[in-house]
């Protein structure tokens, strides 16, 4: 366990003692201390339902993202587990952002966006977002030796390396698929698809869907993709949408698209 993860775990134990239990929600999941936002990795592993979330233990303000962790057997009573991830590597030192989880080879794999900063040839610094993996037993997780497993350099040339985040993973007939929110210089707002046989070596497949009309935001965050009846559903959260009548006044919204998916050609209409 890294020093940063151990520090976070000790901090949440000690600081939680200062919060009266009656001030905590009896039903809803909450962080032991600090800041909580995006839910992540909602999945079943060894008969229990796991819920992770973006988490900054040291402040009630947004900060370098960790992953908090809760587990349940009945969706009513939740057990708080120790923090699962901390930003403790060069490739995620500015945060372990949103992602998903899956059971593979008897372990639980957490797929998340690692955020760091690189220095450009002109001396300027720029954010880089890449997709990383950690393996665990349902409580403790170890980041893979080869991380990130998917980088922005695997994208088509004009796709963003700055806004490239929130991987959703699933398995289908022995192949793992990863859908990631992205944007490009030409088409703001898109989701890109990767595939792998072993969760280690990945290849870019296609831009699965994009904001071809220019009306649906500039960056599609937190995508999800799944079959429902005889259709497939794509859910995403576009940023900076313009109000249209009575809709989209929030600017940052959640939308769904239904259509037909060809899993051989990787096309979604």
Catalytic positions: 38
Interacting residues of 30 by C-beta distance below 8 A, sequence separation 6+ = 24, 36
Separation of alpha carbons 225 and 169, rounded Å: 9
- The residues pairing with 237 across neighbouring beta strands, listed in sequence order, are 221
């Amino acid at each position: 366990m890294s020093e940063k993860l151990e520090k976070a775990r000790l901090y949440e134990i000690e600081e939680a003692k200062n919060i009266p239990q009656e001030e905590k929600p009896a039903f809803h999941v909450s962080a032991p201390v600090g800041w909580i936002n995006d839910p992540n990795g909602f999945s079943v592993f060894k008969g229990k339902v796991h819920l992770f979330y973006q988490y900054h233990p040291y402040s009630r303000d947004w900060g370098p993202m960790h992953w908090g962790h809760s587990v349940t057997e009945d969706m009513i009573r939740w057990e708080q587990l120790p923090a699962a991830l901390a930003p403790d590597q060069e490739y995620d030192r500015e945060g372990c952002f949103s992602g998903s989880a899956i059971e593979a080879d008897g372990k639980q794999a957490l797929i998340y966006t690692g955020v760091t900063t690189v220095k450009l040839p002109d001396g300027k610094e720029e954010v880089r977002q890449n997709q990383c993996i950690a393996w665990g037993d349902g409580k403790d997780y170890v980041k893979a030796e080869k991380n990130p497993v998917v980088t922005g350099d695997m994208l088509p040339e004009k796709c963003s390396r700055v806004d490239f985040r929130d991987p959703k993973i699933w398995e289908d007939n022995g192949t793992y698929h990863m859908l990631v929110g992205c944007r490009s210089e030409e088409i703001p707002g898109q989701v890109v698809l990767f595939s792998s046989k072993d969760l280690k070596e990945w290849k870019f497949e296609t831009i699965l869907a994009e904001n071809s009309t220019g009306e649906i935001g500039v960056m599609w965050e937190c995508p999800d993709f799944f079959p429902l009846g005889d259709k497939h559903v794509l859910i995403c959260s576009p940023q900076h949408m313009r109000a249209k009548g009575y809709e989209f006044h929030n600017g940052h919204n959640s939308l769904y698209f239904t259509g037909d998916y060809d899993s051989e050609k990787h096309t979604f209409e």
